[in-house]
Every structure is written in C-alpha cells, then in structure tokens.
Structure 1
C-alpha cells in the first residue's frame, strides 16, 4: 500500500505542475495578445483628463460627444474597442 500512495502523490504533483504551467502560459498569452489594448488603457488611465487640451487637438476630439456630435451606441465590438 505504501508504493501505491507514493505513485498517487507523484501523479498529483505532476498534475499540479501541468496545471500551473497551463495557467502561466494562458496568462502570458493574454498579456502578449492584448498588449496594445492594455497599453492604450494604461495611457488613458495615467493621463489627466483636460477638456481644453482635447479641444485644441483637431484629430483627437473630432468625434467626441462633448463636441456636439451624437454617437449612436453600436453593438459592433470593433467600434466599441476603437476608442
């Protein structure tokens, strides 16, 4: 009975290592795959919101709702992730 317990423990440890490796691989894949989006979000969160600076930039604030343009909500993920 002692030998069977040892083998079960080895299998459990091996399974744990495989699961941890899969989780680490998934996390790194997520970080690498979404890096451009995560960087954009980080820049937006780090920068202070200054309406005067946004109004002075012609291309950045052209389609913002505060400029008088009413944007209809869209269910298209590409449109949602664009801004």
Structure 2
C-alpha cells in the first residue's frame, strides 16, 4: 500500500504542475495577445487622471457631486471604484 500511495501522490503532484504551467501559459498568452489594447486602456486612464488633477482649485469643479451636502461624489461607473466599494 505504501508504493501505491506514493505513486498516487506523484501523479497528483505532476497533475498540479501541469495545471499551474497551463495557467501561466494562458496568462502570458492573454497578456501578449491583448498588449496593445491594455496599453491603450492604461494610457487613457492615465490621461483622464492627469486632466482631473491638473484643474486649478479656483475653477468650477467637474465633479457632479461637489454641490451635494457633505461633498459626496455621485456613484462612479468606473469598475475599479465599483469593486473597491
């Protein structure tokens, strides 16, 4: 029974390594395949963030929730903010 248990453990370890390798390969394939789109999205998010921070304090705020009591902003449609909340 000791040899059968050892063989089963080896097979389980081998299967785990194969699964982890497949997941890593899939992740890298996704990153390489969608790299142009990911770069464009990151650039667009960075430029929108820079334009918001570049506004002068005396300017009229672009934030639609700035006139709300307590200054609470309106709910955001940004997925990162939705997931964080």
> Which TM-score tier does this pair reach, normalised by the shorter chain?
0.5 to 0.7
> What's the CA shift string for 1:11-58, capped at 9, x where partnerless?
0000000000000000000000000000000000111347xxxxxxxx
Pairing of 1:2-81 with structure 2 (within 5 A): 2-48=2-48, 49=51
Taking structure 2 as the reference length, what is the TM-score of the superposition?
0.56
In structure 1, runs of 5+ residues without a counterpart are 51-83
Separation in 1 of the partners of 2:11 and 2:30?
28
Taking structure 1 as the reference length, what is the TM-score of the superposition?
0.58
RMSD (Å), alpha carbons:
1.2
Moved over 2 A (4+): none
In structure 2, runs of 5+ residues without a counterpart are 53-85
Separation in 2 of the partners of 1:7 and 1:15?
12
